[in-house]
Every structure is written in C-alpha cells, then in structure tokens.
Amino acid sequence: MYTLTLDDLEQAARQVYRVMPATAQYRWPLLAERLGCTVWVKHENHTPTGAFKVRGGITFMHWLRREFPQVKGIVSATRGNHGQSLALAASAAGLKALIVVPQGNSLEKNNAMRGFGGEVVEYGEDFDEAREEAARLAHVHDLYLVPPFHTELVKGVATYALELFSAAPDLDTVYVPIGCGSGICAVIATRDALGLSTEVVGVVSTEAAAAKLSFEARAICETASANTFADGLAVRKPIAEAFDIYGAGAARVVAVSEEEIAAAMRVYYSDTHNLAEGAGAAALAALMQEHGRMLGRKVGVILSGGNVDRSVYARVIG
C-alpha cells in the first residue's frame, strides 16, 4: 500500500511553493443552498497551468534531477494537463520536454503546452496509443519516459489535499475525478497520513468507466473506448499501481453522464463564476447525483482544472 508521511507532504509542499502559491478552497453558499450540504471546492483551476497536475510535475522534476542527473530531457503522453505540468516543470529545470498527444487533441491545450516550453507531437487515435508512441520516442531519442502515474507525481499532487484538509479537517466526504489516478491516490494518501476518517469517492465518466468497473470487480477491467468530452477522464484501462491504491482506499466510484458533467459546469459558472473543464466538474456532478445521501454533511469537491476549449465551453454553457 502506498503511504505518505506528514514529513513527505511538507517537503513536497516546500518544493511546490517555490514555483506556485497554494490554491484556495472556498465554502460556496449557493452550492450549499442548492445541494443541502456544506460544499468546499478545492480550486485547482487556479494553478499556473489551470490544473492540479503542475504540482506533481514540480516534485517529479526535483526527483529526476537528483536521481538521474545525466538526463537531458523527458517525454510523456497526455491529453493536456499532465503535459502542461511537465512542460512548465521541465523548462524550469532546464530539460527538454517532448509531449505526445492523440490526433485531434485540444488545440488550446496543445498551444498551452508549447507556451510552457514543450514540443508537441500528435499520434494515435486516443491516449493509450499516444502512450505507446511516447515509449517508442523515449528509446529513439534517449529521453526519460515520464509515466502517467508515479509515486513522485502523487507526492506533489498530495499538496492540494494537504491544503484542503488543513482548511477543512472535518470533511465527511471528498469527491475526486479519476483519470490516471494521481489525484484520488493523493487524497487517499494524505487522508491516511493525517489520520482522518474522510470518505473518498472516485468519479468517472459513464463513457470511460474502466475505473468503476475495475473497482467493483476487484480486478482491472478495460473498456473498448473512452469517448467523453471530459478528456481528463478519457482512459480505457486503469494504471495498475493507481488501482492498487484507490481500489483499497476509496469508498466507492461513481459514474456521471456527459449531461451531468455539462450541468455541473453550468452550476460552477452560475453559483461560483468559475470555469471548470469536464473532468474538473465531474466531482461536483457526482455530488449533484448523490446529494440526497449527503444532506447536512460537510463535503469537498475537487475542481481539478479549468482548461476547456472555448468551442466546447460555448456549447455547454449555451
């Protein structure tokens, strides 16, 4: 079982805060009024890259420079937020960053990755095919292959959970979106390090439900497709190391539909005037689905990112 100590978390926080400040968590009154419970939103849409993954990128580069000082650059696959994180962190560490995305990936996320100093390569039909190409390019160009899930990534991501639990240690439940799993694993590890009893609930799309199917089967299951507009959730097969953690540490995994995610994006705008991408709104969508069982409770939702293409957001908000 993956564990973090309080010392691990504080060390990671020191590394992260050299690059970015802590993000806010707010208790929004209109969400409470709408849902009948106290709702704390963790605003990872307010990081320098607009998503939580930058934290893991920072701690991972610290580890990489220490353990493999000869490395000249990194390569990884992404739908966007992981890639922006690595591009920013690699540039800060003086390393080349080659980022592989599926064909037809978000133009705005691709541009953002380039803006942070990454070189973007389009390959494959989906994230899983892009991952295979990233592995090939690592070998061809002698680059360090950064996996979508790694204990050093989790350590950095866990700093958002430390901030949330420090502000609101008495949360009954926290809803966390599941893509490759660093977010939910970080929340579980931080909860356990702090000795809290908070229930952690994972959230997937009904169109990319492999994590939920795996959780319920107690074994890794793969889906034929992952066609959700919430691209941060678009994974066909769980990462084994992540599944080991959330399979044991989560209370349950909830699936939300495309319509429920879009509704949550609209609610974020109307009730908090915050921009949420699909994956970023998934946790709130799950709380909206389960609000009956959360009445009167203190609930946290992770707004994991706000990097949504303008055309997609225009369609959703309209």
Whether residue 269 sits in one domain with residue 251: yes
CB 63 within 8 A of CB 86: no
pLDDT digits (tens, 9 = 90+) for 201-237: 999 999 999 999 999 999 999 999 888 999 899 899 9
Whether residues 185 and 94 fall in one domain: no
Tokens of 43: 């605003």
**Looking at the domain assignment, is residue 1 inside a domain?**
no
What's the pLDDT score for residue 81? 85
CA torsion sign, 243 to 248 to 249 to 254?
Answer: positive
Shared domain for 114 and 187, answered yes or no, is no
Residues 274 and 250 in one domain: yes
Which structure tokens are listed for 21? 């400040």
Position 177 in a domain: yes
Residues 239 and 94 in one domain: no
Report the distance separating Cα 181 and Cα 165, nearest Å. Answer: 19
**Do 41 and 175 fall within a single domain?**
yes
Residue 92 to residue 68: CA distance in whole angstroms: 16
- CB 206, CB 258: distance < 8 Å: yes
**Three-state secondary-structure class, residue 96:** strand
195/313 same-domain check: yes
When divided into structural domains, the chain yields a total of 2
Whether residue 127 is found in the same domain as residue 181: no
Place of tokens 């044991």: 248
Please write the tens of the pLDDT for every residue from 299-312.
Answer: 999 999 999 999 99
Q: Check whether residue 207 and residue 296 sit in a common domain.
A: yes
pLDDT beneath 70: ranges in the chain: 1
Query: Which range marks the domain in which residue 235 is found?
Result: 6-52+151-317
DSSP three-state, residue 128: helix
Q: How far apart are CA 298 and CA 294, in angstroms?
A: 8
Find out whether 272 and 31 touch, Cβ atoms under 8 Å. yes
Kindly state whether residue 178 falls inside one of the protein's structural domains. yes
Question: Is there a domain that residue 291 lies in?
Answer: yes
Amino acid 55 reads R
Q: Give pLDDT, residue 265.
A: 98
